[in-house]
Amino acid sequence: MAEQFAVTQIPGAETGEIPPSPVDRDEKTAFIYSLVDPIWDIDTLPLTYTNSRWSAFFYRADEKQLRRVLPDCLELEDDVVEFWYVDHNHTMLGPYGEMGVTVAASHKAGDGRTLYAGYYPYMYLTQDAAIDAGRVLGFPKKEAFIRVLEHGGAPDDGYGVYDTKVYQFDYFSFLMIRNGYVLHSATGKYDDADLPAKPKFYGNTDYGRMNMKVVTAPDLSESRWELVYLPSLVTKDLATAMGRPDAEGSHRFQVKPESIRTASAGNINWFMQATPYDNLGHELPPKELIGLMTFSFDLIIPAGEVPWTETYTRDATWAGAAKPYRFGLRHRFPKPIGLGA
């Protein structure tokens, strides 16, 4: 008779965060199929992340194009774009890679407040559960193949610490592919230069984050738009949830200053394009590349609020192809051949 045994220790059970799998734990190229059911509704907030690695390219973009990717209820606040990659290692959803774009914007709420935030028009991920969970909060997540590497210099575990010693990388490499097309790639070398500009929301607790969530009725009779706002300031309750009471009053992106590296624009090799499936390369190309900043951090995602909502209805004559983008988010998808604007 085969020996029977019971699993008595579940990885991550004590912290609530699922660690990287022991096989290929340093391989970030493949899609990650999570331990969490991908058909998933959030029943736990806030979500916590520890020892993630953020890499943000900064560039100036054309203001007319930036306004095009913002919903009508938002105003543009800055022409500096954050084009970022993140390597999430320990999360409540398991490990995954992510890429996105953040634009500084503001919204005048009906209660008299002006909400400032970084708005996300694009996001791509390597893991299905994180995609489904993010969409509950309005994050515009789609699946993609993402590879992030930092290399050269002294031996390292990939996050700045090895055998309790701090090391530094010399080189970096980023790649994102979707449906067989390279959307973006960048390579280069860190020079730790001071970057001449950053987005307004960087490190600013007055700027939260915003998403536009669109929910369409099954019969297409109406689409409900909801602006979702996530604050950046760590409240007492959030600090308690993080297990870090000392974090109260700080930013919910808990950056580790010793891990910061930068590269000036002259040290970056950049490629970006639109594809038959994604318009990002066409909608927001760099007008002026500023540089790269990368760092390790802990993160908490709180519950969101909905400061604005609007419902758009379609009459009975709407055939589904007459005006395909009238009530959607045009910039996220290419225009189908043969259909009108």
Number of independent structural domains in the chain: 1
Helix boundaries (H) for 158-270: 236-242
Cα distance between residue 157 and residue 164, in whole Å: 11
Residue 269 lies in a domain: yes
pLDDT of residue 292: 98
Residue 319 lies in a domain: no
pLDDT of residue 299: 83
pLDDT of residue 313: 82
pLDDT of residue 319: 54
Domain limits for position 140: 47-206+230-302
Asked whether the beta carbons of 138 and 237 are under 8 A apart, the reply is no
Residue 309 lies in a domain: no
Residue 333 lies in a domain: no
Residue 18 lies in a domain: no
β-bridge mates for residue 117, sequence order: 105, 208
How many other CB atoms sit within 10 Å of the CB of residue 89? 22
pLDDT of residue 318: 61
**CATH code of 163's domain:** 2.40.400.10
CA-atom Rg of the chain in angstroms: 21
70 Cβ contact list (under 8 Å, min separation 6): 76, 103, 105, 119, 121
Q: Report the largest interatomic distance among the alpha carbons of the chain, rounded to a whole angstrom.
A: 72
Residue 321 lies in a domain: no
Upper half-sphere CA count for residue 133 (Cβ side, 13 Å): 23
Below-50 pLDDT ranges, the chain = 1-8, 10-11, 22-30, 33-36, 38-39, 155-164, 321-325, 327, 336-341
Residue 251 lies in a domain: yes
How many other CB atoms sit within 10 Å of the CB of residue 196? 11
Phi, psi at 4, each rounded to 5°: -100, 145
Residue closest to 269 by CA, chosen among 196, 336, 174, 139: 174
Residue 330 lies in a domain: no
